[in-house]
Amino acid sequence: MAVRIVFVGPLRDIAGEEAREVAAPLNWAGLLEAVGAEVAQQLGEERVNVACAGEVLTDKTTLQAADGDEVALLPPVSGG
Amino acid sequence: MAVRIVFVGPLRDIAGEEAREVAAPLNWAGLLEAVGAEVAQQLGEERVNVACAGEVLTDKTTLQAADGDEVALLPPVSGG
Amino acid sequence: MQDVRLLAAPLVPGSLIGSFTNANPGLGGVCTFVGEVRGEDNVEALELSHYEPLTLPSMEELADRAIVRFDLMGILIAHRIGMMYPGEPIVCVSAAAKHRRGAIDAVDFCMDCLKSAAWFWKRELRGGVWHWIEPRAEDYADLARWKK
Amino acid sequence: MQDVRLLAAPLVPGSLIGSFTNANPGLGGVCTFVGEVRGEDNVEALELSHYEPLTLPSMEELADRAIVRFDLMGILIAHRIGMMYPGEPIVCVSAAAKHRRGAIDAVDFCMDCLKSAAWFWKRELRGGVWHWIEPRAEDYADLARWKK
């Protein structure tokens, strides 16, 4: 009965880990609580996206992760 | 005592030859007379340039070619 | 012909482009951009992370959009992940079209998207310390040119 | 590094670009455009004429202008003359710069100039008859973008 939270890029450094398993289901309030104050603050920023089960959420505060879902925390990107 | 007139690109087809030697000096009026009616008509078009001794003339009607100069008649370009 | 690759091993643009060009007979022009790790500012290494479920699918979607928008015959998008050193290629985008305008614009567009709107995270090692990199203001401005 | 060539023999982009890239260490990006003879409209062959005293000097001048205008580290401009057949490269422009914007814009600029403002004359053989080609209206419009 778990949701896997994945910390990507700079958020991995802040979280100090690559991923964490938490109990399902997981909503936005549960996510903010699960990730610790520093990551929660980052999640408040508009530039930080959240994906659930491979789909980027248009409104991350509507998160509803079920058992087996992977929730990825996606900071501002930079490629090329 | 000659000026060499070079016909480039489509003007070569119209002139029916690659180049022609005429007596020096050669000015604009002399050029128009030397090249024949059909090429002269083309020379009247703004898009057709004239180079003398390797320099494209800003105003081709000021042509003053001396002995040994090459005068090139340059129709609209297309490369690439 | 659409060829989209996420590469954990060294990217060799010459070998990709040669076969890409041959795979698009009848083309009028091919435009190619290759981005490399710059050694300036004492950059010792660069590392690119990705997020598996999103990164490659979004690159494929970008390729689809470019083909339609710029009327391409083919597109190649190859992007490195992992650790790279100065002088190593990071990204290669190549577009084949009947006319040059489409090919050049498609490469321009894809590079702007890859730089600031694709699922990559970049960090640089300078003086033994890793620094996360965000797009420059110019990168965001470049991307905004394509919004319509 | 400036490399400007007028070629009467086949142009092999791969060999030019490889050595060009290597000759510009520290670059951030290289953009390259290769134009080929299109076989559409039953084109059997294409012939490019030039005028020796003007063509190469004006290409060198174009390279100089591009380096200054787009802050390039290097530029390669190679253009064919003579007879070519469908699928053969006609022109190759490659620009190396610290950032992608300069490299891409330089290639775009040079191609527009080569297409409508360089000393070349092009004709196509279709159905056994030679036809002189002039730039399309779009080509002149593309060139006008750079006037300032």
* pLDDT exceeds 80 at position B1: no
Place of tokens 């990204």: C91
| Chain-chain contact of C38 with D18 (C-beta, under 8 angstroms) | no
Residues belonging to chain B: 80
Please give the structure tokens belonging to residue A70: 């992977």
From the number of C-beta atoms within 10 Å of its C-beta (0-12, 13-18, 19+), residue D127 rates as exposed
The model carries a pTM of 0.94
Q: Specify the 3-state DSSP secondary structure of D112.
A: helix
**Which residue of D87, D104, D115 is in closest CB contact with C33?**
D104
Note which residues in 32-71 of chain A have CB less than 8 A from chain C. Answer: 51, 54, 56, 70
Q: What is the CATH number of domain A2-74?
A: 3.10.20.30
Mean pLDDT of chain D: 95
- The C-alpha atoms of residue C30 and residue D90 are separated, in whole angstroms, by 12
**Which of C80, C88, C100, C107 should be substituted to probe chain D, the one whose Cβ sees the most D Cβ atoms within 10 Å?**
C100
Residue C116 pLDDT: 92
Do C91 and A77 count as a contact with CB atoms less than 8 A apart? no
pLDDT at residue D40, as a whole number: 80
ipTM of the complex: 0.93
pLDDT-flagged residues of chain C (< 70): none
pLDDT computed for residue D6 by the predictor: 97
What's the average model confidence in pLDDT over B51-78?
97
Domain ranges of chain C: 2-144
Q: Is C71 on the interface with D (CB under 8 A)?
A: no
- Do the beta carbons of residue D51 and residue D5 sit within 8 Å? no
What is the structure's pLDDT at A12? 95
Please report residues of B whose CB lies closer than 8 A to that of D91.
79-80
Q: Which residues of A touch C90 (CB under 8 A)?
A: 80
Distance from CA of B55 to the nearest CA of D (A): 8
Residue B9 pLDDT: 95
pLDDT in tens, A35-67: 999 999 999 999 999 999 999 999 999 999 999
User: Is C78 touching A (CB cutoff 8 A)?
Assistant: no
User: Is C133 touching A (CB cutoff 8 A)?
Assistant: yes
**Parallel, antiparallel, or unpaired: how do β-strands D89-97 and D74-80 relate?**
antiparallel
pLDDT at residue D69, rounded to an integer: 98
Nearest to D66 by CA among D34, D110, D26, D98: D110
Whether the per-residue pLDDT at A80 is higher than 90: the answer is no
> Given the structure tokens 């435009």, which residue do they identify?
C31
Q: Which ranges of chain D have pLDDT less than 50?
A: none
Query: Which pLDDT score is estimated for D18?
Result: 86
The span from the CA of A21 to the CA of C3, in Å, is: 36
- At residue C37, the pLDDT reads 95
Q: What is the pLDDT of residues D28-51, one digit of tens each?
A: 999 999 999 998 888 999 999 999
At the top level of CATH, the class of C2-144 is alpha beta
The two beta strands, A19-23 and B2-7, are unpaired
Residues 6+ apart with CB under 8 A from A65: A3, A24, A25, A26, A27, A31, A52, A53, A71
Q: What is the mean pLDDT of residues B41-47?
A: 95
Residues 6+ apart with CB under 8 A from C68: none
> Torsion angle of alpha carbons B69, B70, B76, B77, nearest 10°?
-120
Q: Residue ranges per domain, chain A?
A: 2-74
Q: Could you give the maximum distance between any two Cα atoms of chain B, in Å?
A: 38
